[in-house]
């Protein structure tokens, strides 16, 4: 399955979910799309085109950069402006080991990301769709499963989360005991 098949399957599921003729897994309108990492540039193009097609069908659809959301969330966590992030992170890296800093940021980043995304998507209608681009930029801080499970109940619209990866497993779904989250039941569309 390449881009035409992946996008056709995804678009059909989204449109039918919004029209009430498809019921996603556990009736949660969240969709993860896995694709090979070498396809990142094409993935960005394909998902932006999907948003345009959904808009032409009279659905409210937007793309949100998780890189931008990450910068806003880190700024809030570190109590600095986005343009000060680089120098603030360099300062923190000098004060503590990188693994310790990563662990400390991971503990609080998820909640701040959810706040950031919920605030930016508060006006999205129930029959709207948001595509969260650049999930790979959040690794190793957040996993797709933990982000989606934490977003549930905080936003009203359908969510599409494209994710670069070659296998479904530890990088996509955290084990239930992991502090960053556990299994998430949203529909998964795999690259085959």
Domains defined along the chain, listed by start: 3-64+111-189 (3.40.50)
List phi, psi (to 5°) of 160: -115, 125
Alpha-carbon torsion 91, 95, 101, 104, what sign? negative
Q: What would the pLDDT profile of 33-78 be if each residue is shown by its tens digit? A: 999 999 999 999 999 999 999 999 999 999 999 999 999 999 999 9
Q: Could you tell me which residue, 137 or 15, shows the higher pLDDT?
A: 15
Question: For residue 167, what pLDDT band results from cuts at 50, 70 and 90?
Answer: low
Given a contact cutoff of 8 angstroms between Cβ atoms, the answer to whether 60 and 124 are in contact is: yes
Task: Tell me: pLDDT of 180 over 50.
Answer: no
pLDDT of residue 176: 40
List phi, psi (to 5°) of 33: -125, 115
Element (H, E) at 37: none
pLDDT of residue 175: 44
Question: For residue 139, what pLDDT band results from cuts at 50, 70 and 90?
Answer: confident
Site of tokens 């969330």: 73
């Amino acid at each position: 399955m390449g881009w035409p098949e992946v996008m056709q399957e995804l678009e059909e599921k989204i449109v039918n979910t919004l029209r009430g003729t498809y019921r996603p897994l556990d009736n949660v309108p969240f969709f993860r799309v896995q694709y090979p990492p070498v396809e990142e540039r094409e993935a960005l193009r394909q998902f932006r085109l999907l948003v345009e097609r959904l808009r032409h069908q009279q659905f409210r659809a937007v793309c949100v950069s998780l890189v931008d959301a990450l910068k806003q969330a880190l700024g809030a966590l570190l109590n600095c402006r986005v343009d000060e992030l680089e120098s603030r992170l360099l300062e923190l890296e000098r004060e503590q080991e990188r693994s310790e800093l990563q662990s400390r940021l991971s503990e609080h980043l998820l909640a701040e990301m959810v706040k950031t995304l919920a605030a930016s998507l508060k006006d999205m209608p129930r029959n709207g769709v948001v595509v969260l681009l650049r999930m790979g930029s959040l690794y190793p801080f957040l996993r797709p499963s933990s982000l989606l499970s934490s977003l549930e109940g905080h936003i009203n619209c359908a969510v599409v989360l494209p994710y670069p990866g070659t296998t479904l497993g530890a990088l996509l779904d955290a084990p239930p005991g992991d502090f960053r989250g556990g299994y998430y039941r949203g529909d998964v569309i795999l690259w085959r």
